[in-house]
Amino acid sequence: MPIVINLDVMMARRKMSLNELSEKVGITISNLSILKTGKAKAIRIETLEAICKALDCQPGDILEFVK
């Protein structure tokens, strides 16, 4: 898949656990885990916005296009 999700990288940089991010964003741990492992087929803009707010980052810090 050409879009890589670097959620685990940003979480590590911010020293935030999956549980903590789940609470801040309001998404279940299982759904965040699906995103983190790159198994998600889509992400809502609202979800991406909430994750970026919680991690204090830009969407481009989480999403990466790889040829």
pLDDT-based confidence at residue 2 (cuts at 50, 70, 90):
confident
Residue range 3-65, CATH number: 1.10.260.40
pLDDT tens digits for range 4-47: 999 999 999 999 999 999 999 999 999 999 999 989 999 999 99
Q: How many helices (H) and strands (E) does the chain have?
A: 5, 2
pTM here?
0.90
**CA-CA distances (angstroms) from residue 13 to 51, 61, 67?**
14, 11, 25
